[in-house]
Amino acid sequence: MRLILASASPRRLDLLARLGVAVAAVDPAHIDETPRPGELPPRYAERIAAEKAAAVAPRHPGSIILAADTVVAAGRRILPKAEDAGQVRACLKLLSGRRHRVLSAVTVIDAAGTARHRLSTTIVTFGPLSAATIEAYAACGEGVGKAGGYAIQGRAEAFVRQLAGSHSGVVGLPLFETRALLIAAGLAFG
């Protein structure tokens, strides 16, 4: 059975490889990811993952479609995917010394067109970050393009004082939830 990844994220591709899953094609959805007024972070993540899967499914009839979205939330606030070093700095200043949630929503559409959804919530606590640490991280470029302005699988892992939940979910694809959805969609695992 063909598995289509509705994401251009190399991290998601790597995480699927950890499950021993071969992806037949990568086909990013290219949807509008603007949060709706008053939309809470969990609902936003779930909606975006579902919309990505629904946008890609018609292009690959008879295939399994996997889509995901990862959101960093400080309270009710959805942090951006940092577009530049300035946004990385702003995110890290906000997250310094405090807890935040990382929500990773996964949608899988099976070959018959049935959609299934899961949401992983991880609580991440950063230690206090000095201005020099924030500046050095922003300058390295690692946080650009990442939800909340940081990559836990890189240098930012050293900022994490405590993590409760799915490490792979923070990277971008919660493996426990993803495996369950793929099994339900008919993908066999050894």
Q: For 84-97, write each residue's pLDDT tens digit.
A: 999 999 999 999 99
Is 189 a domain residue? no
Tell whether 48 is covered by a domain. Answer: yes
Would you say residue 137 lies in a domain? yes
Q: Which CB contacts under 8 angstroms, 24+ apart, belong to 156-163?
A: 159/92, 159/95, 159/126, 159/127, 159/129, 159/133, 160/124, 160/125, 160/126, 160/127, 161/125, 161/126, 161/127, 162/123, 162/124, 162/125, 163/122, 163/123, 163/124, 163/125
Q: Which domain holds residue 93?
A: 3-184
Q: Is the pLDDT of residue 190 over 70?
A: no
pLDDT digits (tens, 9 = 90+) for 53-92: 999 999 999 999 999 999 999 999 999 999 999 999 999 9
> pLDDT category, 160, cuts 50, 70, 90?
very high
CATH code: domain of residue 103? 3.90.950.10
Specify the pLDDT at position 135: 98
Number of domains in the chain: 1
> Would you say residue 29 lies in a domain?
yes
69 is catalytic: yes
Residue type, position 48, single letter: I
User: Quick check: 43 pLDDT over 70?
Assistant: yes
Beta-carbon neighbour count of residue 124 at 10 Å? 24
Residue 190 falls within a domain, yes or no? no
Q: Which of these is catalytic: 27, 69, 84, 110? A: 69
